Structure 1
Amino acid sequence: MELPIVVGVDGSEGSLRALDWATAEAARAQLPLRVVHASLWEHYEGMRPTFDTRRPAEQILAEHLVASAQERARRLRTEVRVVADVQPADPVSALVRESYEATLVVLGSRGRGRIAGTLLGSVSLAVAGRSHCPVVVIPATVPDAQPKLGRVVVGIGDAAGPSAAARFAFARATSRHGELVAVRAWRCPAHETADHPLLAVSAAAVHRRRAEEHLDDVLAVLDRTGSGAMVRRTVLQGPVHQVLIEEAGGAELLVVGARRSGTHHGTHLGRVSHALLHYASCPVAVVPETP
C-alpha cells in the first residue's frame, strides 16, 4: 500500500510553499499527494436556522481553497496523483490523524490570521510533536542563497546505531542523488577543562576522537546497502542546535529526531528540535524515534 504525502493548506503563502515542496517530493518518491484543509466551520452551523439549507460560507471557501491547491499541484507535476479533502475538525487533530497513514506530513511554518506570526507554536510545532510519521516544516521565508541540490543534513546523537532520523536522511539524500552531511557535535565537560590548560587540551582531544569513532560506527551500519550515496562526516565542537543550524546553511533539508514519550502526549520535542524549527533557514524534518 502506498502511503501518501500529506500537506496541510490554509491559503497562506506559507502553505503554498509547503504545497510546492510536497508536490516535488511526491514526484521524486513516486507517491500520491493528499491535500488537506481542516477548520472548525461546522461549529457555527448551530447558529443557522434549521430550515436554511445553504452551506456555510466557510465550507464553500474551504472547498474552493483545496480545489485551487489541488489544481496548483497538478500543474506543477502532472505525473503526481493528487487528492484533496476538507475536514471539519481542529487542524492539529486532523493532521495527527492523517499521520497514521502517511509517509510524510508537510506544513508551512506560518499560516493565516491574527496568529500567523506564531503559528509554528500552535499548529506546526504541535503536529511535529504528536505525529506518527515524519513531519517536514517549510520555513516562512525564502533563503537568500539557492540551496545546494540534494544536500541533506542530519544530526547524529548518542544512540549506538543509526536512528530513525539518520535512516530517513540517508534515504532522502539517496533519492536526490545528493550528499548526506552527517553531523556529530561534541562538548568537553567544564570540570575537565577548569584545572589546567594542558589537561583541557588532552580532554578535548579525547572527546573529539570518541565523537569521530562513534560517527564512523553509525555510518558504517547505515551504508551497508552500498547505495553509493555521497556521505560527508562532520565533527564539530559546540551546542548541537548551533552546530546543526550553521551546517544546514544552503541545505535542501535538515533532519532531526524526536523521542517517542510513550504517553498520550506523543513525541517529545526537546530544545534542539525547538531551536531548529524556529531558526533553521531550510526545511526541517522531525522524525519520531520509536523504541
Structure 2
Amino acid sequence: MSAIAKELPVVVGVDGSEPSLRAVDWASDEAVLRGRPLRLVYASLWERYEGDALAADLGKPPEEVSADDIVEAAARRARSRHPELTTAVEVVPEEPEYALIRESRSATLLVTGTRGRSGLADALLGSVSLAVAGHAHCPVIVVRGNHDNQARSGRHGRVVVGVGERATVTFAFEEARRRGVPLEAIRAWRCPAHETTDHPLLAGEPARLHAQQAVEILDKALQDLPAGVETHRRTVEGRTRTVLVAASYDADLLVVGAKRRQGHFGLQLGRIAHGVLHQSACPVVVVPEQR
C-alpha cells in the first residue's frame, strides 16, 4: 500500500444527480490540492436515480441505472478531471446521512452537493447535506452556486471566513494558501436596541464599543498565523449570516464554524451556518468546533 493510500481521504457522497456530479468535481480538486486519495460513496437507500445526465452517458433508461453504475461513472469523471488521482468506490446499504457521518470519522474532508429539483435545485438544501453538515466529525464542503453541471473554483480569487473560533480561521487560512488566493476575514457586529441612548453626547458610544470589540476579536483570531497568505480584515455592522451571504457572491469558498456539543444529538449547526448553507452563492465549508 502506498503512503498516500494510508492517509485520510477526501470523501464525496454521490447519487447520480447533477448536484452530486458537481460535488465529485470539487472533491477531486480538493483531493489533488491536499495530495490525498478520493473516496466516492453511494448509499443504496438513497432515492432512486432521477435525471437524464448519467443515464444518457451510460446509454440506459434512468430506471436501469444501478448503484455500481453511479459510483463507477463518478470515479471515471474524477479520473478524467485528474488522471493521477487515486480513487476508491463504496456502495453502502444504509441511509445516506448515517453512512456519510460515519465516513467522516476517517476522512480529512467530506464533500456533498445540494439536493433539490427543477429551478429550485440550488435554492434549497436537501436533508442529507444538512444532516451531514450538522453532525460530521470532519470539515464538510457543500457545493453550491453553480448551475451548469460544472464545479469551477478560482473565479473570484478569494476565500472568505466568518471569524469565530480558531479552528475555523486556521482551516480557511490553509484553504487560501493551497489555492494561492487572499483570505478575507469578516466579523459582523450589531448594537442591541436596548443599548442605544437618547443623550446627544452618548448616542454613538454603544455602537463604537461593539465595533471596537469586533476589531479586537478579529485581531485575536488572526494573530500568529503563518506568513504566506494575503489577509484582509473587515468588520461590518449587520446580522452575521446576512453579511456572509452578501460576501459569498464574490468568493470562491465561504468558511463558517459549527459548535459540537458532547452528548447532544440534535442538529449542531447554529443559526449562522444553517442560514448560509441555504443562501450562499458559493460553496460553503462547515468546520466542526468542539465545545
Matched, 1:96 2:101: yes
Matched-pair contact (CA < 8 Å) for 1:110–1:140: no
Partner of 1:244: 244
Change (3 A) 1:59 1:171: farther
- The residue type equivalent to 2:182 in the other structure is E
Change (3 A) 1:20 1:203: same
Matched, 1:196 2:203: no
Superposed, which structure 2 residues align to 1:1-291 within 5 Å?
1-40=6-45, 61-110=66-115, 120-139=125-144, 141-142=146-147, 148-157=155-164, 162-221=165-224, 223=225, 225-226=226-227, 228-263=228-263, 265=265, 268-291=268-291
Q: Structure 1 regions of 5+ residues with no counterpart?
A: 42-56
**SS in structure 2 of the partner of residue 78 of structure 1:** coil
Matched-pair contact (CA < 8 Å) for 1:8–1:15: yes
Segment drifting more, 84-93 vs 198-207: 198-207
The separation in 2 between residues aligned to 1:146 and 1:24, in whole angstroms, is: 9
Change (3 A) 1:94 1:214: same
Larger Rg: 1
Segment drifting more, 148-157 vs 122-131: 148-157
The separation in 2 between residues aligned to 1:105 and 1:187, in whole angstroms, is: 33
Q: Report the alpha carbon displacement of residue 189 of structure 1 after superposing the two structures with TM.
A: 1.8
Q: Report the alpha carbon displacement of residue 193 of structure 1 after superposing the two structures with TM.
A: 1.5
Give TM-score, length-normalised by structure 2. 0.84
The separation in 2 between residues aligned to 1:280 and 1:104, in whole angstroms, is: 20
- The residue type equivalent to 1:277 in the other structure is L
RMSD: 2.6
Q: Report the alpha carbon displacement of residue 2 of structure 1 after superposing the two structures with TM.
A: 1.1
- The residue type equivalent to 2:159 in the other structure is V
Partner of 1:47: none
| 4+ aligned runs moved over 3 Å, structure 1 | 57-60, 115-119, 140-143, 145-150
Encode CA deviations 1:255-279: one digit per residue, 9 max, x unaligned.
1100111125166211111110000
For this pair of structures, how many residues does the alignment match? Answer: 267
Encode CA deviations 1:21-45: one digit per residue, 9 max, x unaligned.
111111111110001100228xxxx
Change (3 A) 1:20 1:219: same
The separation in 2 between residues aligned to 1:81 and 1:252, in whole angstroms, is: 25
Partner of 1:45: none
Q: Report the alpha carbon displacement of residue 196 of structure 1 after superposing the two structures with TM.
A: 3.1
**SS in structure 1 of the partner of residue 258 of structure 2:** strand
Encode CA deviations 1:167-217: one digit per residue, 9 max, x unaligned.
111110111111111001111121221423542312212221221122112
Q: Report the alpha carbon displacement of residue 148 of structure 1 after superposing the two structures with TM.
A: 4.0
The separation in 2 between residues aligned to 1:58 and 1:36, in whole angstroms, is: 20
Change (3 A) 1:233 1:81: same
Change (3 A) 1:112 1:11: farther
Q: Structure 2 regions of 5+ residues with no counterpart?
A: 1-5, 47-61
The separation in 2 between residues aligned to 1:249 and 1:183, in whole angstroms, is: 14
Partner of 1:53: none
